[in-house]
Amino acid sequence: MAAPLKLHHVDTLDDPVLPVHKRGHELLCDPILNKGTGFPDSERDALGIRGLVPPQVVSIDDQVARVMENFQRQDNDLARYIHLETLHDRNETLYYRVLLQHLRELTPIVYTPVVGQACSRFGHIYRRARGMYFSHAEVAQFPAMVQNWPEDEIDIVVVTDGSRILGLGDLGANGMGIPIGKLALYVVGAGLYPYRTLPVLLDMGTDNQALRDDPLYLGERTPRLPDERFYPVVDAFIDAVHGRWPQALIQFEDFSNAHALPLLERWRERLLCFNDDIQGTGAVALAGLYGALRITGGELADQRVLFLGAGSAARGIADSIAGAIAAAAHRDLDRARSQLWMLDSKGLVTASRQASLAPHKRPYAHTLPDSTGAGVEITDLTAAIRALKPTVLIGVSGQAGGFTNSALREMRRYCTRPVIFPLSNPTTRAECSAEQAYSWTDGDALVATGSPFAPVTVNNRLLVPGQCNNLYIFPGVGMGAVSCRASRVTDAMFHAAARTLADQVGEDSLAVGRLFPDLRHIREISARIAAAVCRVAVEQGLAGIEAPPNDEADWETFIRSRMYHPHYVPYEPA
């Protein structure tokens, strides 16, 4: 691909002509350069395309209309996903134009919740290679394999081992749909250039016997590696990627609870990386809580939080909230953590269980107050609510129906405006629906969900659940980190992202209980978050570039100047 493309910003009306090295059919087969029927007559002659596409020159807006007309003809969500991914493989400019113009309608298709269906069927719907696959059986070849990727400049790598895809569990190599979708949202949400992103599947085998028996499964048909072999493979992968693209951000995605936090702790102080399931989820949930407190008038330091679920998402959210409480109330972290509790499959996580707990749960294993009947095991959610009287209930269990009528009514009994966040994905795994959360609390709950739910009317009041969607956070954090050439991603950056997001919720949204801004403004949201991340990086001495003179306004201008905008630019033969 021609080098000028890497420096080109397609957001002005006087775009320079872009030299390209490809011609004819080869050019039409390049999804980054292809315009399909959008090539003007002058380019059809100069680039050897005349006769290879229909004679009518079609504007990109008319192409969008055709895509959406055919999208609406699909009879199920998986077919709609395939329709869009086929476009993604054919014409990336048009693909991103379609997503930007129909963001709210299409985001649930290209990512949560429909991407879960796509991952479950990935080997059956596979059409064209996208991204890179690193198999544990080929670990010795990793340094050579990274040289096979055609791009010399990569901003962000999203990598998964497919071990915990949404709430669906171990999907092995089928998990590649996650980094593909995640990076599409980076492009749409924050304007990362598509060819500067790299989706990766790290194939460690799978313990899903049904997949290993599926003749169309595309991954290694071996059990998952034990830890003594797992970590050296990850280390070899990171060394290879970092060796070729030393400034690239590595985002860990959908690793199992056993590996997610250890991997983050292993690498977070050594290179530019983060785990969106832990830190991104934590930041967006914290932003939702800030939004709820704008309605109730309460203080973060006074909240008591109970989690149904105690995996990596729970740990990430808990750490984010505890860190924010400690900062706001000038408390030490252990005291802040004492306000947050977790309920796992064996019951309330308490100090009496310390010896048998996984390491990521231990910081939240507390001793029950005497008034609750300390020493009595609490195994169900309603009993835990009765004992702890939380003001905030967060579901990250993957258990459909985990929030029961009795549990939410118990919470509403002592809490005027309970904060209810059933966050498990996909929709079929949500702890309760938005309608249930509202109806079981007489419309008084402040609700944010992991998957999208429709507005609800209770007692003649329109209530709009916010979607606690990581899309609000990770694009801006990633864009900010790579734009200022940060050497690390820190918790302070995620706290700044959460506060910036919460500040962008309008009063009209809060009036109907919506705790997040309209996703249609995602680029504006991401630009402000990215600018906030840059400012933190400078303050912490982690930025690789100097701060602009007029700090706040100039950072946002700088971020916007780096954004990719999908429209066709003029070509000429190189």
Question: What one-character-per-residue DSSP string does 304-346 give?
Answer: -EEEE--SHHHHHHHHHHHHHHHHHHT--HHHHHTTEEEEETT
Global pTM reads: 0.93
The verdict on 336 and 372 lying in the same domain is yes
Q: Where are the beta strands (DSSP E) in 10-136?
A: 18-20, 132-135
> Is 361 marked active-site?
no
How many domains would you assign to the chain? 3
The verdict on 192 and 249 lying in the same domain is yes
The verdict on 286 and 210 lying in the same domain is no
Domain boundary among 471, 486, 521: 471
Domain boundary among 471, 486, 506: 471
Domain boundary among 207, 239, 255: 255
The verdict on 437 and 456 lying in the same domain is yes
Distance separating alpha carbons of residues 213 and 123, to the nearest angstrom: 12
Return the exposure string of 66-94: e unless at least 16 CB atoms fall within 10 Å of the residue's CB, then b. ebeeebeeeeeebebbbbbbebbbbbbbb
- Say which of 96, 111, 193, 568 is annotated catalytic: 111
Distance separating alpha carbons of residues 550 and 167, to the nearest angstrom: 44
Distance separating alpha carbons of residues 70 and 372, to the nearest angstrom: 59
Return the exposure string of 363-399: e unless at least 16 CB atoms fall within 10 Å of the residue's CB, then b. bbbbebeeebeeeeebeebbbbbbbbebbbbbbbbbb
Residue with tokens 């039409």: 28
pLDDT in tens, the chain (574 residues): 333 333 333 443 345 799 999 999 999 999 999 999 999 999 999 999 999 999 999 999 999 999 999 999 999 999 999 999 999 999 999 999 999 999 999 999 999 889 999 999 999 999 999 999 999 999 999 999 999 999 999 999 999 999 999 878 999 999 999 999 999 999 999 999 999 999 999 999 999 999 999 999 999 999 999 999 999 999 999 999 999 999 999 999 999 989 999 999 999 999 999 999 999 999 999 999 999 999 999 999 999 999 999 998 999 999 999 999 999 989 999 999 999 999 999 999 999 998 899 999 999 999 987 666 555 789 999 999 999 999 999 999 999 999 999 999 999 999 999 999 999 987 888 999 999 999 999 999 999 999 889 999 999 999 999 999 999 999 999 999 999 999 999 999 999 999 999 999 999 999 999 999 999 999 999 999 999 999 999 999 999 998 887 776 799 999 999 999 999 999 999 9
Domain containing 166 equals: 61-255
The region that residue 36 occupies, defined by phi over 0 for left and psi between -120 and 50 for alpha, beta otherwise, is left
Decide if 552 is inside a domain: no
Extract the tokens encoding 47. Answer: 């680039």
The verdict on 115 and 69 lying in the same domain is yes
Decide if 1 contacts 21 (C-beta within 8 A). Answer: yes
- Say which of 182, 217, 564, 571 is annotated catalytic: 182
Burial group, residue 411, by CB count within 10 angstroms (0-12, 13-18, 19+): buried
Extract the tokens encoding 513. Answer: 């209980």
CATH code: domain of residue 50: 1.20.1370.30
The verdict on 205 and 233 lying in the same domain is yes
> Is 111 marked active-site?
yes
Torsion of CA 349, 353, 355, 357, to 10 degrees: -30
Decide if 326 is inside a domain: yes
Decide if 124 is inside a domain: yes
Extract the tokens encoding 214. Answer: 């599926």
DSSP 49: -
